[in-house]
Amino acid sequence: MSETNFRIGRSRAPAPSPARPRRAGLIGSAVGLVLVLVATASVATTVTSAKSRLEHPDSPGQQAVAVADDAEVAYCTPAFKQVLQRVLNACGLVGTEQRRGCQPADVKTFASINDDDFNALFTPLRDRGAVILFDENSDVLDDGGKALLQQKWQERKGARYFFVVARASRDGTTEGNRALSHKRANSVLFHLKEATNDPDLDMQVGILWLGSEFAQLSKSFCGWPNSRSDKACTPEAINRSAFVSWVDCRL
Amino acid sequence: MRQSSARRAAFVAVAAAVLGFVFAAYSTYDYAEQLDRQVHAVHCSFVPGAPVSTDGDNPCKTALFSPYSALFRATWWGGVPISLFALGAFSFFAGFGVYLALSERASNRSFGFYATVAWAPVVASVVMFAISVVRLHVFCKLCVGIYLCTLVLAVAATLAWHAKYTEDLALATTAPGDYGAPSSRQSGSAVLLWLACLGVASVLPAAAYVALLPDYRPLIGKCGQLKVTTEVHKGLLKLPTAHPVRPVLLFEDPLCPTCKAFHERLVDEGIFDRLDVTLVMFPLDSECNWMLDRSLHPGACVLAKAVLCGEGGGARAILEWTFDNQEDLRELGKKGSSFLEAKIAERWGSDLAACIGRPQTTTLLNQHLHFAANNHIPVSTPQMFLGDKRICDEDTDLGLKYTLAQLAPEVLP
């Protein structure tokens, strides 16, 4: 298509007034210019406004974002956390590279509470933890004990610390029971080390051995999950044990 | 006097240009609003002036945050939205259309010019439409509005030209005359002038936008850093990439739509394969993640375990499968873990499904979550750490390319 196609005639038609195309051109240009200027101005306003909000953010409108952390559940009362903190400090889990555990005398000193109150602190852990039972005068974990221990270890979720509280029944001497409960605590620890090969284990597991002289368990603890649920539970049997549990508290 | 067909068609073109201008204005406004690095709703309607869309993830938001919505992203934070060029171009087309519609003796050449250049936006629309189909899999209503306007504009301009040609031919046959038509040289100059006007109009809003952009450099990389850089169990997942040149740590949730968009952005921009990726699974599902009191993405724990079970070459494929099938998997996740496990077994085999159920896999996922807890990161996904430096959330979408150009230019292709 080209304009030359219709420039072929010889007789001339009267040409329209040049004022109209010029006016149309002016109107068209004005429309285009106004739209471009409106667009540019509105862009400038929007960007400037965003810049202002960026430099002066409206802080009340900003929503606080939760921060990832260890679990903290309802049983983490101030009293519970106080004892826990003392255990962690005294038993070497906090502030030192080496875990060393706690002896009955230490526990008596740092817990500063009587036997029943000490045991009551652990009541909320009934379903979270378990009682690993041992034979009389033995620190050997049986298969049921190992299985339950590994099961509980794998149920960590958000907990930071795993507690092992070993005891002995009152059958033998105080010194002997102290040593026996220490061995039972170590049996648990060594099995976890062997089974999990976890390099962080020493910083997670806190062990206490109470011998037979502090915080003996009553027969009511026979109702807690234990590794010999098919066997008779006596007051002596429930204390030939190591109570294990993850603790869902932040410290 | 009776209006000619050419001028009527020109009026239609003007209407299309004005409507396109309005759509482009809303699109530009929504984009520019994000420059404050806060969260804003966007418009998503065929009705100009309709209120912003209330649903969090609508197609217009997907398009806006896609890598295709702006140019020069590495040079300016967020880049220059392409709607800005549309805004200027529609202004020109409206103005020129008004001229053609009002002028009784606009030349055939001016109609020809209008019809020719009016197809340029259609080409752009076709390209963007293809991207919507092939890459985004969604249709943004504002964008579709613009596509339709460009099409109507081009068709109307072409019809106007054709009508003008026919009318002139008829007039030449019955009353031939020269009408003082410009010489070929004059016409050529006019075309160049119009093209220059089109260029200036298209660029002017973009130039103003760029000139007024805030300086984002002081804000980049100021969103914290990792406190613990290594995971003692060495349980974090390495994702193989083609040419890793910079270590990066990604916290991801397989059912999180933003993670999917982020992953696709990295892949589409050619960045992902230049990253040395360590993946930390951070499912926002209370079934395994104690940091939530309710599941935001039920089933995400199962899928996170599936990714962990694909350690080696399979992890990336499984992660991308979860992203590609996110909607279906999310629905299955709401029904229960067993439905998801069946789906995984169907796609990846029974060995992988069995791996999900192993205690070791649960422990591994737990180690990932504890890594997040030890670093006290915000409970949100996705998160990207370049080395130990956290990239701000705002810089993982619109500002991603600019931020990487500033902090790690070697990862940009």
Measure B266 CA to nearest chain A CA, in Å. Answer: 25
Give the residue, A243 or A9, on which the prediction is more confident. A243
Domain-by-domain residue ranges, chain A? 17-65, 78-247
Say whether A66 and B378 touch across the interface (CB within 8 A): yes
Task: Flag whether residue B290 sits within 8 Å of chain A, measured between CB atoms.
Answer: yes
Mean pLDDT of A114-134: 87
- As a whole number of Å, the end-to-end CA separation of chain A is 85
For A40, which of B181, B205, B370 is closest by C-beta distance? Answer: B205
Residues of B in contact with A19 (CB under 8 A): none
Which positions in chain A touch B359 (Cβ < 8 Å)?
150, 154
Residue A105 has pLDDT above 70, yes or no: no
* Residue in chain B nearest A13 by alpha carbon: B177
Interface test with B, best of A3, A22, A160, A249 (most B CBs within 10 A): A3
Using one digit for the tens of pLDDT, what is the confidence trace for A159-195?
A: 998 989 999 999 889 999 999 999 999 999 999 999 9
β-strand B275-281 against B237-239: which pairing, if any?
antiparallel
Phi, psi of B275 (to 5 degrees): -105, 145
C-alpha B80/C-alpha A151 separation (Å) is: 56
| Pairwise CA distance, residues B4 & A109, whole Å | 105
Say how many C-beta atoms besides its own lie within 10 A of residue B171's C-beta.
15
Q: Dihedral of the CA atoms B98, B103, B107, B108 (nearest 10)?
A: 60
CA distance A28 to B92: 9
Residues of B in contact with A36 (CB under 8 A): 88, 91-92, 201, 204-205
**Whole-angstrom Cα distance, residue A87 to residue A95?**
12
Report the residue from B34, B103, B204 with minimal CB separation from A20. Answer: B103
Angle (nearest 5°) at CA A152 between A148 and A155: 145
Task: With a cut of 90, say whether residue A214 has pLDDT above it.
Answer: no
Contact by Cβ (8 Å): A234, A56: no
Determine the pLDDT at residue B182. Answer: 57
Of B92, B165, B380, the CB nearest to A32: B92
DSSP string over A50-85: HHHHHHS--GGGSPPPPB------TT--HHHHHHHH
Q: Is residue B57 within 8 Å of B69, Cβ to Cβ?
A: no
Q: What is the pLDDT of residues A223-237, one digit of tens each?
A: 999 999 888 889 899
Please list every residue in chain A whose beta carbon sits closer than 8 Å to the beta carbon of residue B179: 13, 15-16
**Interface-testing mutation among B184, B227, B258, B291, with chain A (most A C-beta atoms within 10 A):** B291
Is residue A177 within 8 A of residue A211, CB to CB? The reply is yes
* Chain B interface, best mutation among A12, A43, A250, by max B CB count within 10 A: A43
Query: Does B290 contact A158 at a Cβ distance shorter than 8 Å?
Result: yes
Phi, psi (rounded to 5 degrees) for A67: -115, 140
Distance spanning both ends of chain B, measured CA to CA: 61
Q: Which architecture does CATH list for B5-212?
A: Up-down Bundle (1.20)
pLDDT, tens digit, for every residue of A20-64?
A: 567 888 999 999 999 999 999 999 999 999 999 998 887 554 567
Using the beta-carbon criterion (under 8 Å), do B108 and A68 form an inter-chain contact?
no
Which chain B residues are within 8 Å of A200, Cβ to Cβ?
A: 232-233
Domain boundaries, chain B: 5-212, 237-411
pLDDT tens-digit series, residues B172-194: 777 655 544 556 666 778 899 99
Query: What letter does residue A226 receive in the DSSP assignment?
Result: B
Q: Which residues of chain B have pLDDT under 50?
A: 1, 179-180
How confident is the model at residue A109, as a pLDDT?
67
The set of residues, in sequence order, having a beta carbon less than 8 Å from that of A229 and lying 6+ positions away, is none
The per-residue DSSP string of A99-121 comes to ---B-HHHHHHHH-S-HHHHHHH
CB A100 within 8 A of CB A91: yes
Q: In this predicted structure, what is the pLDDT of residue A103?
A: 64
Q: Which residues of A touch B29 (CB under 8 A)?
A: 42, 46
The upper half-sphere exposure of residue B212, i.e. CA atoms within 13 Å in the direction of its Cβ, equals 23
**Distance from C-alpha of B78 to C-alpha of B35, rounded to nearest angstrom:** 8
Q: What does the pLDDT read at residue B221? A: 82
Q: Mean pLDDT in chain A?
A: 83
A-contacting residues of B 320-359, CB under 8 Å? 359
User: Residue A247: exposed, middle, or buried by beta-carbon count in 10 A (0-12, 13-18, 19+)?
Assistant: buried
**Residue B134, C-beta contacts closer than 8 angstroms, at least 6 positions apart:** none
Counting one residue from A and one from B, how many pairs have CB atoms under 8 Å apart?
207
- Res. A106 pLDDT band, cuts 50 70 90: low
| Rounded Cα gap, residues B320 and A220, in angstroms | 53
Helix (H, G, I), strand (E, B) or coil at A218: coil
DSSP per position, B19-45: HHHHHHHHHHHHHHHGGGSS-------
Distance from CA of A45 to the nearest CA of B (A): 9
Report H helices in B107-240.
108-117, 119-131, 141-174, 184-212
Tell how many helices (H) and how many strands (E) occur in chain B.
Answer: 15, 7
Distance CA B148, CA A114 (A): 81
Rounded to the nearest angstrom, the minimum Cα separation between A48 and chain B is 7
Q: Which of A23, A29, A66 sits opposite B291 (nearest CB)?
A: A66
**Chain B residues inside the 8 Å CB shell of A21:** 103-106
Q: Where do we find the tokens 């934070």? A: B77
Are the C-beta atoms of B359 and A156 separated by less than 8 Å? no
Q: What is the pLDDT of residue A98?
A: 56
**CA–CA min distance B329, chain A (Å):** 24
Structure tokens at B36: 């404050």
**Is residue A181 a contact partner of residue A171, using CB atoms and an 8 Å limit?**
no
Q: Which two tokens stand for residue A136?
A: 């009389």
**Residues B120, B88: Cα–Cα separation, whole Å:** 13
pTM: predicted TM-score of the whole model, two decimal places: 0.81
Q: Is B231 helix (H, G, I), strand (E, B) or coil?
A: coil
CATH number assigned to the domain covering A78-247: 3.30.1330.60
* Closest of A166, A171, A180, A247 to residue A214, by C-alpha: A166
Per-residue pLDDT at A14: 47
A46 and B205: CB-CB below 8 Å?
A: no
Q: Which residues pair with A206 in a beta bridge?
A: A163
How far apart, in whole angstroms, are the C-alpha atoms of residue B203 and residue B208? 9
Partner residue opposite B91 with nearest CB, options A1, A36, A70: A36
Chain B residues in contact with A150 by the CB 8 A cut-off are 359
User: Which residues in chain A touch residue B106, judged by CB atoms under 8 angstroms apart?
Assistant: 21, 24
Position A2 scores a pLDDT of 41
Closest CA to A223 of A210, A233, A212: A233
Best residue of B43, B178, B374 to probe chain A, by most A CBs closer than 10 Å = B178
Cross-chain Cβ contact A32/B380 below 8 Å:
no
The CATH label, of 3.30.1330.20, 3.40.50.300, 3.40.50.800, 3.40.30.10, for the domain at B237-411 is: 3.40.30.10
Q: What are the chain A neighbours of B153 within 8 Å (beta carbons)?
A: none
Q: How confident is the model at residue A110 (pLDDT cuts 50, 70, 90)?
A: low
Interface membership of B286 toward A (CB under 8 Å): no
Mutate to test the interface with A, among B11, B22, B91 (most CBs of A within 10 A): B91
Place of tokens 């300086």: B215
Closest partner residue to B21 (CB to CB) among A35, A54, A200 is A35
pLDDT at B159: 96
